[in-house]
């Protein structure tokens, strides 16, 4: 179809059609995959929120893979400070179902570095259309050791002193947990507000249900896009704040002996598909770590599912 009105604008603003993925018979598979991942994807701008603990209701676009790496530096009273880290592989199965794999690890200074477990997560959108409040069901299975310190959520009676013991002792514990969240999120006039009630059950029958919360608000620094491609435009930055903490467990619900954090955060969404996040969480009571400094980097790979289908000879 001819486009007489916009023709002059189109070549400058729209990226050219994607090159076909080259196939090589030689070279190392890892290098090949890495080069595929880094160089042969057409840019598709990610619009990621700055939240690190809180979830809004937006899922991964279908067929896209997002690879994320996050670090947390945590101060520790009565023990050694630590640096925990995790990698996420987030895949959009459909527009209403996102699945995710986490691999966790940590380094405790003057102690050791450990792989601390994995998590598998699914997020399911419950309503067909956008509403003022949009619910998404979150279900996660965790298989982690007691040395896991990523603090992706703070649950039940989790407190700072739980992390003070040496890794050698902490790693003796193994947790198989089921975690459910109801992600409630609303976007209005550029603001996103999200509330996540969290319910966790250690699969050991003697362990009670634990409760927690995460709440966040975020807004882009500019609501309108500029016509040219740019890295430092205000519209590429989203600033926000989140608060999270434990609410006790089924045997002793409430705020006593729980920890809570307030964390301003910012995300920088680059047109080259990368997103950088920075968050500084401050403990709000004596049971909390004084500081949880987090940063993360992520990249989205659009059409990953389709590429896999091609690779394994799927149907056209």
Partner 1 sequence: MNRSRWKTRAGAVLVGANSLARLERIAIIAAITCASASIAAAQMSPAVPERHGWSARAVLDAVPEVARARKNPFEGSEREAAAGGKLFGEHCSDCHGAKAGGTRRGPSLLREEVQKATPGELFWALTNGVVWRGMPVWSKLPEPERWQIVTFIESLRPHETKQSTVGEAANR
By CB under 8 A, name the binding residues for partner 1. Answer: 1-6, 9-10, 12-17, 42-45, 47, 49, 56, 58-59, 61-63, 92, 94-97, 122, 124-126, 128-130, 137, 139, 141, 176, 178, 187, 189-190, 192, 203, 205, 220, 223-229, 235, 271, 302-303, 306, 316
Give least dist CB 258 to partner 1, A.
26
Q: Which is nearer to partner 1, 83 or 310 (CB)?
A: 310
Give the span between the Cα atoms of 74 and 294, in whole angstroms.
Answer: 9
Give least dist CB 203 to partner 1, A.
5
The closest of 129, 84, 121 to 101, measured between CA atoms, is 121
Give least dist CB 10 to partner 1, A.
6
Q: Which residue has the tokens 């790693």?
A: 171
Give least dist CB 19 to partner 1, A.
12
Q: Which is nearer to partner 1, 234 or 290 (CB)?
A: 234
CB 300: neighbour CB atoms within 10 A?
25
CB 55: neighbour CB atoms within 10 A?
22
Q: Judge whether 208 and 250 are in contact, CB under 8 Å.
A: yes
Give least dist CB 36 to partner 1, A.
16
Local structure of residue 116 (DSSP, 8 states): E
Give the span between the Cα atoms of 154 and 26, in whole angstroms.
Answer: 47
Q: Which is nearer to partner 1, 162 or 306 (CB)?
A: 306
251: Cβ contacts below 8 Å, ≥ 6 apart: 208
Q: Which is nearer to partner 1, 121 or 165 (CB)?
A: 121
The closest of 168, 120, 178, 113 to 146, measured between CA atoms, is 168
Structure tokens at 61: 């676009």
Give least dist CB 240 to partner 1, A.
13
Give least dist CB 251 to partner 1, A.
20
Q: Which is nearer to partner 1, 28 or 188 (CB)?
A: 188
Give the span between the Cα atoms of 48 and 26, in whole angstroms.
Answer: 36
Task: Round the CA-based radius of gyration of the chain to a whole number and report it.
Answer: 21
CB 93: neighbour CB atoms within 10 A?
16
Give least dist CB 201 to partner 1, A.
8
Give least dist CB 113 to partner 1, A.
30
Q: Which is nearer to partner 1, 20 or 27 (CB)?
A: 20
Q: Which is nearer to partner 1, 218 or 263 (CB)?
A: 218
- Give how far Cα 302 sits from Cα of 66, 88, 92, 116, 190, Å: 8, 16, 10, 30, 25
Structure tokens at 190: 């550029």
Q: Which is nearer to partner 1, 29 or 227 (CB)?
A: 227
Q: Which is nearer to partner 1, 140 or 165 (CB)?
A: 140
- Give how far Cα 156 sits from Cα of 51, 74, 148, 220, 245, Å: 21, 19, 16, 32, 8
Most distant CA atoms of the chain, gap in Å: 71
In degrees and rounded to multiples of 5, residue 276 shows phi and psi of -115, 140
């Amino acid at each position: 179809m001819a486009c007489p009105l916009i023709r002059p604008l189109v070549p400058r603003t729209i990226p050219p059609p994607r090159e076909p993925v080259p196939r090589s018979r030689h070279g190392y598979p890892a290098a090949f995959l890495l080069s595929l991942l880094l160089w042969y994807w057409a840019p598709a701008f990610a619009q990621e929120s700055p939240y690190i603990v809180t979830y809004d209701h937006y899922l991964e676009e279908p067929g896209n893979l997002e690879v994320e790496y996050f670090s947390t530096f945590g101060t520790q009273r009565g023990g050694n400070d630590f640096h925990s880290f995790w990698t996420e592989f987030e895949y959009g199965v459909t527009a209403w179902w996102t699945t995710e794999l986490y691999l966790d690890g940590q380094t405790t200074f003057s102690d050791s570095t450990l792989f601390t477990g994995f998590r598998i997560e699914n997020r399911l959108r419950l309503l067909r259309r956008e509403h003022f409040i949009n619910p998404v069901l979150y279900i996660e299975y965790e298989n982690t050791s007691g040395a896991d310190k990523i603090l992706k959520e703070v649950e039940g009676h989790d407190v700072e002193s739980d992390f003070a013991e040496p890794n050698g002792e902490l790693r003796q514990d193994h947790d198989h947990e089921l975690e459910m969240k109801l992600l409630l999120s609303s976007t209005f006039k550029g603001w996103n507000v999200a509330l996540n009630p969290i319910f966790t059950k250690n699969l050991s029958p003697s362990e009670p249900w634990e409760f927690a919360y995460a709440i966040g608000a975020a807004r882009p620094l500019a609501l309108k896009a500029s016509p040219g491609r740019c890295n430092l435009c205000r519209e590429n930055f989203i600033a926000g704040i989140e608060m999270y903490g434990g609410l006790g467990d089924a045997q002793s619900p409430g705020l006593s002996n729980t920890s809570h954090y307030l964390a301003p955060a910012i995300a920088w969404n680059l047109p080259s598909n990368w997103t950088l996040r920075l968050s500084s969480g401050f403990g709000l009571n004596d049971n909390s770590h004084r500081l949880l400094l987090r940063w993360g980097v992520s990249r989205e790979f659009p059409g990953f599912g389709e590429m896999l289908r091609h690779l394994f000879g799927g149907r056209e």
